[in-house]
Amino acid sequence: MTQSDQNETKHEGFSNSRLRGKVAIITGAGHGIGLAYANRLASEGAMVVLAELDKVAAKKAEEDLKSNGYSAMAIATNVVDPTSLERMASETLDAFGRIDILVNNAAIFSTIPMSRSPFDEIEIEEWDAMMAVNVKGAWLASRAVTPTMKQQMSGKIINISSGTALKGSASRIHYVTSKAAILGFTRTLARELGPFNINVNCVAPGNTLSEVDPDDSTVAFRNAGANDRALKRTERPADLVGAVAFFASPDSDFITGQTLVVDGGSFMH
């Protein structure tokens, strides 16, 4: 009996479990918002794969999910390495027998620090690293899972952009540019994969307090985001997980190529 079969049995009594029997890979799932996505998808019945560069964090997340009765597996993954991503897909198939959902969450942002500098002071090496992780990583991860999704004639790919790509944000042009690329990537991939019944959508978070142990300046920066919102409070990871769960679920089966902005009403269009 595969873990997929075991999980079907485990969640038999969860009538509200939209993702029962589904297998979800979340890149960068060992920390912050990625970990919140993993917990929410698991709570809705999905078997989750924590594809994470930080092996220690991924293993801890796996243990925590399992202690709550969920099916989870940590796989050490480097999203800029095609071989690592192919291994991620292969190990997922070996363990669970299918791949239904990919959340392209891994990015240089808070866990991997980035400089906040004027555009002409950013080092070329940092620009290249940002594009490699935030853009190429999403492309390579999608490329690794789509052969299986095409064979299944079903799948959900959920990309993570940022509200900054829609508004602009000074002093981090490399990050904003990478997240703007994800908007076009989502629409183009949706066109290409539509014939295979694969949905590709995007979530664009606002300024979110995702750091585990933020310092006072980080908290102040995140709290300041409330001033620009219709909903006057700090955004947290829990505010984002419903959108990802929706795009992962059958409720979004006829939605593709779309970006859902989850920022409390900072950007409206």
Q: How many CA atoms lie less than 13 Å away from 154 in the CB half-sphere?
A: 13
The position carrying tokens 């595969």 is 2
**Rounded Cα distance, 4 and 120, in Å:** 50
Could you tell me which of 44, 61, 47, 60 has the C-alpha nearest to residue 2? 47
The position carrying tokens 């700090």 is 234
Q: Are 114 and 108 in contact (CB under 8 A)?
A: yes
Q: Which residues contact 41 (CB under 8 A, 6 or more apart)?
A: 19, 24, 26, 48, 101, 103, 244, 245, 248
How far from 146 is each of 21, 139, 143, 192, 257, CA to CA, in Å? 19, 11, 6, 11, 16
**Rounded Cα distance, 109 and 97, in Å:** 32
Compute the C-alpha angle 34/40/46, nearest 5°: 105
**Rounded Cα distance, 142 and 65, in Å:** 25
Which residues are identified as catalytic?
Answer: 175
Torsion 30-217-165-80 (CA) sign: negative
